[in-house]
Structure 1
Amino acid sequence: MLKERWKKIQTYGASLPFAKVYYREDWEVIYFELQGKMFALLSPTIDDQSQLTLKGNPQKNEELREIYESIKPGYHMNKKHWNSIVLQSDELSDEELLQMLRASYQLVLAKFSKREREQLQRFVE
């Protein structure tokens, strides 16, 4: 189950418009980016410590940490804006994880200027 979840996260992340998912050697992590801006990190190995780290709204991040034991402040990240989720846990469904991954992507996309977003949209349509 964990291996399928790990693969599903990468496949879904790579399917988002203009997203790239690759192993980043200098950080030893699977790196998810949109036009050079990080929106997620994934443990490169599959074990009971594997984590997915996602950007989130600071208030929502706090709420999620209070509700779910498997969600912690972002590992080696700004604790206010990033959460790390232990993938071994079954507290969250795969669908919920993918929704959170998409939300992280959208937060990064929203930081682009209106002009940059419009240029990207032109290629999507």
Structure 2
Amino acid sequence: MNIDERKQVMILHGNTKQGAEVYFREDWQCHYFSLLGKCFGMMNNEVITLKGNPDENEMLRITYQDVVPGYYANKTHWNSIYLHTTELSSDEIKHFIDLSYALVYQKLTKKEKATITESE
């Protein structure tokens, strides 16, 4: 799978998450993964940057060369994954999208969560 195909897979997967929207953000020149305006991912032509548990983020960076501290993001809470990676499959990256979404979702208020479930 080439990078453009992999990007499409990630965009489609992000859009399947309840209440999420993935769109191209002109001012940042990247695809923005949004949950009620809160970022759970960013993707350009080279990397996808996703939120994660700080301890797990560090382990991923040690385990995989293609996982690095998040570009233009808090290095403790965000990792960037090179899209050209052969170390991680698309399914594994989709799993990290799911985790990032869950971390942002759990920080929403009850009212915000209700808005998401009502709109689906």
**Pairwise same-fold verdict (TM > 0.5):** yes
* 2-structure distance, mates of 1:89, 1:100: 14
* 1-structure distance, mates of 2:40, 2:22: 10
- Provide runs of 4+ in structure 1 moved above 6 Å: none
> In terms of mean alpha carbon deviation, does 61-70 or 110-119 score higher?
110-119
Q: CA deviation at 1:5?
A: 1.0
Residue-by-residue CA offset, 1:14-70 (whole Å, 9 max, x unaligned): 111111111111111111100000000000x3xxxx100000011110010000000
The one-letter amino acid paired with 2:29 is: E
Q: TM-score, normalised by structure 1?
A: 0.90
Q: RMSD across aligned C-alpha pairs, in angstroms?
A: 1.1
Q: TM-score, normalised by structure 2?
A: 0.93
Structure 1 equivalent of residue 10 of structure 2: 9
Unaligned runs of 5+ in 1: none
In the TM superposition, 1:1-125 aligns within 5 A as: 1=1, 2-43=3-44, 45=45, 50-124=46-120
Q: CA deviation at 1:88?
A: 0.4
Q: Which has the higher contact order (CA 8 A, sep 6+)?
A: 2
Unaligned runs of 5+ in 2: none
